Structure 1
């Protein structure tokens, strides 16, 4: 009887240990439930990494097939998991004064510093006219978007992005709360590799998001 009882207790402990282990793994590898958003087209750096590797982040192929995402994931896995949370509060429109050169792609967030690293990030092919698409989990809406394109002669594969490397393209008007917001952008005179740099000023609070989208103008 004692042996049977001991064996039953041992089995129950084993099941409990297994369940705890599964829960720990879930918490470790599930994105934080922060309801925000990002530009999904042309994909921002963190979103491109999550879209490509989120479901198989342990695949060793990431190291050779997508070395920029690999270095970002190694530096801080949270950068990829929390692609929707690259925000800062209370900038009051002082974007340039609050964001040092070389930290634009991370929105000056130290946890996302790997996004500032120059290199061969995966790029989206664009024409001179293209549509930008914000996916916002919480439907915050927008006071406006500011869109910039890196200047001709700037090389995103070898240089960190600074304010002096950008051409201002457009500022939108307000957008009502919605999960999906799209707007058109018209450019001219750009060819080859560039960065589309976007600032989203959310409407629900003074929250500012900044992102780099790697593109190839054809």
Structure 2
């Protein structure tokens, strides 16, 4: 009996810690989610809306890594971006979306916060016909200056390719309309009005992306959304997703210099150089040939994303004049062989 009595406090302390942690997480979620919101595509769902809707209360469940790997990498990259699925926004674009949102960053709207949405792969896709109904939800009831709906051209592969503007065909431009008169919802996650339009995309088979740009009616506020769809026909999805190709260099370049190496480990340096124009920030993607991993970096923030690694500038070395350079270092692990990685660089202007 005495041993049982002595054991109880050791059980109670973890319970207290667990309850406290749960309260802290709950408080954090309450802060992280916006009190007022904006919107995104809900049918077919945008990547960020689908990830938030499917995994909101279960976002730390490791089963997501095998059941929904693209949402898994998005949640691991930035949970706050998934909670704020309704806030992927660019202000003061002046209708020049291609200038504000670079090729390869369309799904994330040119915002590094949502960069994981740009990664190609086996995102969950909605089966649709070549004539389909597209629905977007406007939580803040902004109305619309326009919604432009695009569909990728036949031959584009969203499993292996990052989306570019030239991959898209404009299939619908709504023009301006108010929020009044559209159906409302009592869904507590939505709380606003939904806009639905008939869309035709003939000649498509298999996997595609429906891309939409919504400019709100009350101000120059612009929202971007990628919805993964599957038209009738086309090849079946691969059973094992291929590794994503590195993005093409855009506005900057990166060079790799091997440093010291020891059994199972290495240290290297990377030089980032801006192109012909000044940049505000940069992101370098590593594609290692032999399964290496990075566990430490300086002068950069490194995250893992779908089998590759992405190093982003820190607050003091992102802005570079035209042709200027900066350096950062990494330490990593290797097994068996240690080939040099393929690097690509994407700049924020």
Q: TM-score, normalised by structure 1?
A: 0.88
Q: Which runs of 5+ in 2 are unaligned?
A: 1-16, 181-192, 233-349
Q: How does 1:1-218 map to 2 (within 5 A)?
A: 23-30=23-30, 31-178=33-180, 179-218=193-232
Find the residue that maps to 2:116 and give its secondary structure: helix
Structure scoring higher RCO (CA < 8 A, sep ≥ 6) equals 1
Q: Indicate the structure with greater helix content.
A: 1
- Displacement after TM superposition at 1:18 (Å): 9.4
* Whole-Å separation in 1 of the counterparts to 2:19 and 2:66: 35
**107-116 vs 131-140, which deviates more?**
131-140
Find the residue that maps to 1:97 and give its secondary structure: helix
Structure number with larger C-alpha Rg? 2
- Displacement after TM superposition at 1:102 (Å): 0.3
Question: What's the C-alpha RMSD, in Å, of the aligned pairs?
Answer: 1.7
Q: Which runs of 5+ in 1 are unaligned?
A: 1-16
Q: Indicate the structure with greater strand content.
A: 2
* Whole-Å separation in 1 of the counterparts to 2:38 and 2:20: 29
Checking the alignment, whether the CA contact within 8 Å between 1:102 and 1:116 is kept in structure 2 is yes
Find the residue that maps to 1:38 and give its secondary structure: strand
Find the residue that maps to 1:146 and give its secondary structure: strand
- What corresponds to 1:13 in structure 2? none
Q: TM-score, normalised by structure 2?
A: 0.56
Q: How many residues align?
A: 202
Q: Write the deviation string for residues 69-112 of structure 1: whole angstroms up to 9, x where unpaired.
A: 00000010012111000011000100011111001000001000
Checking the alignment, whether the CA contact within 8 Å between 1:175 and 1:181 is kept in structure 2 is no
After the TM superposition, which parts of structure 1 deviate over 6 Å for at least 4 consecutive aligned residues?
17-20
Find the residue that maps to 2:202 and give its secondary structure: coil
